[in-house]
Structure 1
Amino acid sequence: MASSAAPASSKASSALQIRAAQGIALIQDAIEHRLEAERDQLVLWVPVALGTGAAAWFVLPDPRSWVAVLLLALAVAAAALAGARGGRAAVLAAVLALAVVMGLALTWARAERVAAPVLTRPVIAWLSGRVEQVEPLPARQLTRVTLTVAEWDGEGPPPTRVRVNLDAQAVPGGLARGAAIRVRARLMPPAPPAVPGAYDFARVAWFSGLGATGRGFAPVTILTPASTDAGDIRAALTRHIEARLAGSAGGIAAALATGDSGAIDERDAEAMRRAGLAHLLSVSGLHITAAVGLVMWLTLRLLALSPRLALTGRLPLVAAAAGAVAAIGYTWLTGSQVPTIRSCVAALMVLVALVLGREALTLRLVAAGALVVLLFWPESVIGPSFQLSFAAVTAIIAFHEHPRVRAWFGEHEEPRWRGLLRAAASLLLTGLLVELTLMPIAVYHFHQAGLYGAIANIVAIPLTTFVVMPAEAVALLLDLVGAGAPAWWVADRALAFLLWIARTVAAAPGAVTALPVMPTAAFGAMVAGGLWVAIWRTRWRYFGLLPVAIGAVWTIATPVPDLIVTGDGRHLALRGDDGGVSILRDRTGDYVRDLLAEAGGLDGMPTLLSEAHGARCNRDLCWMERHGDGRVWRVLATRSLYLVPANELIALCRRADVVVSERQLPRPCRGRWLTLDRATLGRTGGVRVTFATGRVATVRAAGDRHPWVIAGQHQAREAAKGASMLARWLSMLPDAGSKVTQP
């Protein structure tokens, strides 16, 4: 019996193994069949994998995690090559794994290569150095100067590069790029995010080599004058344009020509952002394309006047060369910023494709441009500029490469009016697609999404491309002979119309939808799904809609935060029972107000906590109550550095669920659930709290070893020392505290 059962069991096991092997073989055949059908698209995943590796370095916290990913990716590549039995799947897996390795290693290496001294605490010091960049900000009556520090009289090693704001009236003549200056300034370390999900200037400053920012005081002494260079030309051209066009119109015109947008009024800049037109204010692919197209068109028309040249057949080549020179010159003139360089590279690739007789606008071109940027600036993968520009171009090309779209909007034998309607429909659908594509990126980085941007761009983009920029170019040329006034009038009227569109759309009900911070995992799911849909060509591309839907539902289902506390403990925002957001301090700057409203998913200005229902405040303390989930949450916050009677303060702390203070509280003063004082916030940074889920999100994660975070920890320790000394000084003043009002 036993002997007969053993062979039966062995046969059953063998049968299962055979079936499993057959199943694996079928899966492998199906994958190979899919990859064979998509063979032209496989190379497009290389920059995606490179960007994934770069993003992994930012998402993962420490060198152990980075090394683990490197080893895992290398193991995947080795296993894929070792087990390869022909076909594309194994080779593709190995190549993509190696691209992930390269992306992470490049980012890690660049972070180490750009390392520079960072200021650890605020100082007031004399410093001298050479000016790298001068940015006039007429709308704010400031001039922003970036300089390489040569000498300073502060403590410790000087930062290599600093950026200071100077009052416009204090700027001496001759201040330009290349000049050596001496100035007294109050310098601050680069600021980390004030609250979770906010802009991380410390990270941006690290990769820019900025060790400090601050405010300079008059007088500014020029030690060595500057020589004439691109900076002087830019500044002179900006001043010339702003002299011809007043107000925000001149600021926009200057932004289109030189990239300087400092003369745009803040209200108009905000209107442009809310209307989805902010991309017009930064020199990017749209502007490079317009400049190249205009130069090529003029070159062809002028050279075609000569029959001998026209009959050679080489005019397109000459026009392409002229367009390349225009792209490079425009990039140089506008300051050679990374987004502009990226657009210039893409434009040059398009021109090369045209010269070679190839199709110019393809996803391979986009992939090549992304690859170039990631090889030189891998940190740009997590920035909104990189994501917005490449996402928009990818969506447009993928949409118009679809066979049905080509059939709908391709050339047809039809009356002119129907052709115009078809072109308008194509423009509208493309605009809607771009808005939907960019919406997750806007929500993730800026916590808001526009609803009417597609409609506004339908008018604004052609207006800028075919009216404003040509009129401005003609006006600048005619100004050489003093005859540019008519062209400036055209540009002024067109820009006035553009500003009217922005203001009208921005003021429309529901123009902007404010959302709380999007979870990083949800954003990653939507990006992965979008790339899957855009890159593949067969029907399995539509599987990418599933992670997009998951990310969207996840984002919508994420509860809005109930309490937001800045990293210094001075400011907080509390969501009331009615859903409104109130802030702690009556005197709060516009920047902090906007920051707290944005982080809280509020489109508008928050109210004052001292006037909110359920809150009682005096000069030094605020007591707030929030009802939710069948219970009452009690929050106690200090409003000043003055000390209050300890016994009464401790009694309030013990009744509160959450205690918030910008100073270090006595040991017995602890909230029943959470205490956020100077010591705690020094470790965590800004905090976001959701009462319903009990989730506490922080700016700094435990064990985060990114270099700018390590530098920020030194700054936090120095700030804690300074706050402790200030608190001790205030405690010695007469009548330092106020009577605590018992709730």
Structure 2
Amino acid sequence: MERWLEAERDQLALWVPVMAGLGVALWFVLPDPPGWAGVMLGAGGVAAVALAMAGGGRLARAIGMAGLMIALGLGWIWWRADRVAAPVLMRPVVAAFTARVERVEPLPARELVRLTLRVVHGGGLPPRVRVNVTERDAPADLGGAKVVRLRARLMPPPDPAVPGAYDAARAAWFNGIGAMGRSLGPVLVEERDPAAGRVRARLSAHIISRLPGSAGGIAAALATGDVGAIAEPDAEAMRRAGLAHLLSVSGLHITAAVGIAMVVTMRLLALWPWVALRIRLPVVAGLVGAGAAIGYTWLTGAEVPTIRSCVAALLVLAALAIGREAMTLRLVAAGAMVVLAGWPESLAGASFQLSFAAITALVALHEHPAVRAWSLPRETRGGRMVQGAAMLLLTGLVVEAALLPIAAYHFHKAGLYGALANIVAIPWTTFVVMPLEAGALLLDTVGLGAPLWWLVGQALALLLALAHLVAGWPGAVAAVPVMPDGAFALIVGGGLWLALWRTRVRRGGLVPIAIGLGWALLTPAPDVIVTGDGRHVAVRTAAGLALLRDRTGDYVSDVMAGAGGVDGVPLMLSEQPDARCSRDLCLVDVAGRRVLATRSAYRVPWAELVAACRAADIVVSERALPRGCRPRWLRLDRATLRETGGVAVALGDGSLRTVRRPGDRHPWRMAGR
């Protein structure tokens, strides 16, 4: 063991953020303070004993450092969750209030404007709320508003609708948002601030005015991070083709901005011989690139993924300035520690996992000795072109393999052709679209940008055509049901073991990856899915997943389809031959079980309802059912769902998964009680 750790001594530091992240993850997984305190004390005790017995060996020191980082990670996220605590609305209300505008997010494709507000006058409301405003109710100068007055229907940040869905309550807790809702009537601007949001909002509006439709929306997303102007069919095509990452300002965009700034600076300064002979131009260009990275991050709203990418870019520039190798796994580890120190809650989000999985896989691949040897420059132009294309394809395949389980876990979908699409899309966006857009914006300052905007439009039209082409291929997206947490943990742990070690021991990571994938693939899809309010039910019929209510919104339909592992729009239960539905009730046989669900708020005669319950195995209702309603197996009514939240039932093995776990005392779960 000591000989192995000696051989891996350069890799040991890479496990520091992994152990800190494990502590953060344990805080999310364990339900209550006694469990958190127990892990902290246990990890701290192991660390103390190991460090006391370390002597001259690496094993004891490694165990001690691992225990210390687990304890610190768990304690840090616990402290952070308490630190950001803010009042949360207890029940839905309709309120008129005055608030300061913190953020304005135009969503033209949905005909909405999203406001993040700090309440000034509004009795009993949380200090920070988020409100969606329809475009007809939003004043034209809302982007420059400082104080507004409005009337809105607000509700507590909701739990996930069903197991495995997005947890808005958790995200709202760490953002200090205590209520969400929609405005009722127009928003009145009471005080204006000429500097409020003007740069970003005006730049987005300017770009959209130059390029209408989704092309303008993508151009605005590349420049400012605003994705609201992209039509939903085009956004869905980008997602299905594996190109959605191009719409989220992250490492690719920061790299392009830094690269453009450095190249322009180097070329301009090289024209001045006195400067070129006396000053290290790469260092000066690096400083300009750092300024471009920081400015671009500020312009795009300083979201966590952008800040993370900016920090990584600054570390790369610093490494280049002091003559060190720029892209290494140590750099990735340092970036991860910076993010975990500032936003430990981001570990649980898809953004953190996707971005760090991609860069870790990329750097680990290129640090492999065999890949390093094969990627040495070729002598002929043709050889270099073939080598570049092969490396791009290999990189795409490896990154796609690293991202696939994360996408399946969070979004219940896995793209199959993303690597192929990105081979074309990433160079096209980096070396054609973004430089053209930067040139168009620069020429617009003197009124000469129109020709370049036409070229930008054509380039983005080709990008959209590629997205729709790939999205339309058979099997472009594989829909998967909710992945068990344990299976996902095994895959992530095995992937880290495979990427971070250098000796043959690394191949042991394939074992947990294989077990995790097998566990995920063998986990049956749920047969009955119920939202936390009991209004919406999806059951797996002979024809496919079917929804209880004929009028179901797009959001609920998408959530149900994702949880059920279905790609597309679910069917209507009332139209299925194996279901018997009236205006008030539906009865359907699913996998040998009889499921009864109410589908209206109207009263059903007591005797009929009790008789129907006795003949059913599962009864689902948004109302409070009478005591006489006793199904043979499971009763999910208002009282039960208040405790469990959304429910997914797999009838094959009788497993049941709920949003709320017994004894869960995480602050966002307790806030609404």
Q: TM-score, normalised by structure 2?
A: 0.99
Q: Counterparts of 1:519 and 1:439 in 2: how far apart (Å)?
A: 15
Picking from 132, 135, 154, the partner of 1:168 is 135
Match of 1:98 in 2: 68
Structure 1 residues 464, 210: closer, same or farther in 2, change over 3 A?
same
Q: Counterparts of 1:540 and 1:61 in 2: how far apart (Å)?
A: 34
1:309 is aligned to 2:275: yes
Picking from 285, 289, 297, the partner of 2:255 is 289
Q: Counterparts of 1:220 and 1:568 in 2: how far apart (Å)?
A: 30
Match of 1:721 in 2: none
Contact 2:145 2:189 in 1 (8 A): no
Match of 1:28 in 2: none
Match of 1:437 in 2: 402
Contact 1:395 1:433 in 2 (8 A): yes
Letter in 2 for 1:184: R
Match of 1:197 in 2: 164
Count of matched residue positions in the alignment of Structure 1 and Structure 2: 673
1:224 is aligned to 2:191: yes
Q: Counterparts of 1:456 and 1:591 in 2: how far apart (Å)?
A: 27
What is the SS of the residue equivalent to 2:178? strand
Match of 1:384 in 2: 350
Match of 2:450 in 1: 485
What is the SS of the residue equivalent to 1:222? strand
Q: Alpha-carbon deviations, 1:316-340, whole Å to 9, x = none?
A: 1110000000001001111111111
Contact 1:143 1:165 in 2 (8 A): yes
Q: Counterparts of 2:417 and 2:155 in 1: how far apart (Å)?
A: 39
Q: Counterparts of 1:549 and 1:220 in 2: how far apart (Å)?
A: 55
Picking from 645, 660, 663, the partner of 1:685 is 645
Match of 1:613 in 2: 577
Q: Which aligned pairs between 1:404-483 and structure 2 lie closer than 5 A?
A: 404-413=370-379, 415-483=380-448
Q: Alpha-carbon deviations, 1:134-157, whole Å to 9, x = none?
A: 01111111111111111114xxx3
Structure 1 residues 131, 177: closer, same or farther in 2, change over 3 A?
farther
Match of 1:586 in 2: 550
What is the SS of the residue equivalent to 1:604? coil
Letter in 1 for 2:467: A
Q: Counterparts of 1:690 and 1:257 in 2: how far apart (Å)?
A: 45
Picking from 290, 311, 329, the partner of 1:363 is 329
Contact 2:425 2:463 in 1 (8 A): yes
Letter in 1 for 2:353: Q
Letter in 1 for 2:547: I
Q: Counterparts of 1:140 and 1:590 in 2: how far apart (Å)?
A: 12
What is the SS of the residue equivalent to 2:514? helix
Instruction: State the Cα distance separating 1:85 from its structure 2 match.
Output: 3.1
Letter in 1 for 2:13: V
Q: Counterparts of 1:87 and 1:644 in 2: how far apart (Å)?
A: 74
What is the SS of the residue equivalent to 1:179? strand
Q: Which aligned pairs between 1:564-603 and structure 2 lie closer than 5 A?
A: 564-578=529-543, 580-603=544-567
Q: Counterparts of 1:221 and 1:559 in 2: how far apart (Å)?
A: 52
Contact 2:405 2:488 in 1 (8 A): yes
Q: Alpha-carbon deviations, 1:154-178, whole Å to 9, x = none?
A: xxx3211111111212222432366
Letter in 1 for 2:536: H
Q: Alpha-carbon deviations, 1:243-301, whole Å to 9, x = none?
A: 00010000000000011110000111111111100100010000000000000000000
Picking from 663, 666, 669, the partner of 1:706 is 666
Instruction: State the Cα distance separating 1:226 from its structure 2 match.
Output: 1.2
1:108 is aligned to 2:78: yes
Unaligned runs of 5+ in 1: 1-30, 715-743
What is the SS of the residue equivalent to 2:91? coil
Match of 1:320 in 2: 286
Picking from 2, 12, 24, the partner of 1:42 is 12
Structure 1 residues 422, 573: closer, same or farther in 2, change over 3 A?
same
Contact 2:617 2:633 in 1 (8 A): yes
Contact 1:170 1:218 in 2 (8 A): yes
Q: Alpha-carbon deviations, 1:418-440, whole Å to 9, x = none?
A: 21011000000100111100011
Instruction: State the Cα distance separating 1:313 from its structure 2 match.
Output: 4.3
1:132 is aligned to 2:98: no
Picking from 187, 197, 210, the partner of 2:154 is 187
Q: Counterparts of 2:407 and 2:140 in 1: how far apart (Å)?
A: 40
Picking from 587, 590, 602, the partner of 1:623 is 587
Match of 1:635 in 2: 595
Q: Which aligned pairs between 1:142-291 and structure 2 lie closer than 5 A?
A: 142-153=112-123, 157-176=124-143, 179-229=146-196, 231-291=197-257
Match of 1:667 in 2: 627
Misfit runs of 4+, over 6 Å: none
Q: Counterparts of 1:203 and 1:440 in 2: how far apart (Å)?
A: 22
Unaligned runs of 5+ in 2: none
Determine what percentage of the aligned residue pairs are the same residue: 63
Q: Counterparts of 1:392 and 1:537 in 2: how far apart (Å)?
A: 19
Contact 1:132 1:177 in 2 (8 A): no
Letter in 2 for 1:602: V
Instruction: State the Cα distance separating 1:75 from its structure 2 match.
Output: 1.2
Instruction: State the Cα distance separating 1:218 from its structure 2 match.
Output: 2.9
Q: Counterparts of 2:569 and 2:142 in 1: how far apart (Å)?
A: 39
Q: Which aligned pairs between 1:53-68 and structure 2 lie closer than 5 A?
A: 53-68=23-38
Q: Alpha-carbon deviations, 1:604-655, whole Å to 9, x = none?
A: 11111111121100000001012x4xxx211111011111111111011001
Letter in 1 for 2:415: G
Instruction: State the Cα distance separating 1:500 from its structure 2 match.
Output: 0.5
Letter in 1 for 2:134: D
Contact 1:195 1:687 in 2 (8 A): yes
Q: Counterparts of 1:664 and 1:670 in 2: how far apart (Å)?
A: 13
Q: Counterparts of 2:417 and 2:439 in 1: how far apart (Å)?
A: 32
Letter in 1 for 2:432: V
Contact 2:136 2:186 in 1 (8 A): no
Match of 2:307 in 1: 341
Q: Counterparts of 2:328 and 2:343 in 1: how far apart (Å)?
A: 23
1:658 is aligned to 2:618: yes
What is the SS of the residue equivalent to 2:186? strand
Q: Alpha-carbon deviations, 1:100-158, whole Å to 9, x = none?
A: 111111100110011111111111111111100001111111111111111114xxx32
Contact 2:173 2:668 in 1 (8 A): yes
Q: Counterparts of 1:175 and 1:623 in 2: how far apart (Å)?
A: 50
Instruction: State the Cα distance separating 1:412 from its structure 2 match.
Output: 2.4
Picking from 449, 454, 468, the partner of 1:503 is 468
Contact 2:144 2:192 in 1 (8 A): no
Q: Counterparts of 1:418 and 1:255 in 2: how far apart (Å)?
A: 36
Q: Counterparts of 1:616 and 1:36 in 2: how far apart (Å)?
A: 69
Q: Counterparts of 2:652 and 2:225 in 1: how far apart (Å)?
A: 46
Rg bigger for which structure?
1
Picking from 265, 272, 280, the partner of 1:299 is 265
Letter in 1 for 2:486: A
Contact 1:128 1:150 in 2 (8 A): yes
